[in-house]
Amino acid sequence: MIVCYTLIDITNTNFVRRPKTDAETFMRNQQRNYETFIQLISLRSQPIITHQPKKISNIDIEKYNFGEYYMPSVFKYDVWSFGFDSEHMDSYGTVQSPVGSLNHDFDSVPVIEGLTETAKIHHMINTQGTRTNTYFSSIINPL
C-alpha cells in the first residue's frame, strides 16, 4: 500500500455536477483537487483506493516529511492523507525509491488553493525541495 500525505485540501466531496452557488463551487474545487491526485496516480497504474482522504486538523507536522518552508515549531497545519494499492505497485517506483515515479509525476502540477488548507501552497503540488507539500510513503503489507 502507498499512503499520500498532503497539505492541499483534497476533500472527497463527491460533488461532480456544475456548481450553482458559492458553496457548491467550493465543494467542487475540493473534489477537483482530489480528482487531480487520482488522475496523476492513474498515469502509471489503476489505483485501488483503500482509505479515502482523511483530514487531520491542527497538528504539529514535525514528524511528517514536508519541506523546510513549513515551520512546525511555529504553526499547526491541516494534513490530508489517503491510501491506495494497485496490482502493479512496481509501476510507481524507481531504482531509488518505491514511490519515485509518483514524486516525479506530481511535482509542479497546479491545484486549486484557498479552500480549507492552512499552509501556503502557491497553487502547486510540490514533491521536492524546501516547499514539499505532498509526499508518498510505501507501506509493505505483511501476508
* pLDDT tens digit sequence for 79-106: 999 999 999 999 999 999 999 999 999 9
Percent of the chain with pLDDT over 70: 98
Tell me, yes or no, whether 143 lies in a domain.
Answer: no
pLDDT, residue 143, reads 44
89 CB contacts (<8 Å, ≥6 apart)? 2, 45, 98, 138
CA 21 to chain centre: 26
Please give the residue range of the domain that contains residue 44: 2-138
Claim: this prediction has a pTM higher than 0.95: no
Tell me, yes or no, whether 66 lies in a domain.
Answer: yes
- Average pLDDT value for residue range 47-61: 95
Tell me, yes or no, whether 93 lies in a domain.
Answer: yes
Tell me, yes or no, whether 134 lies in a domain.
Answer: yes
How many domains does the chain divide into? Answer: 1
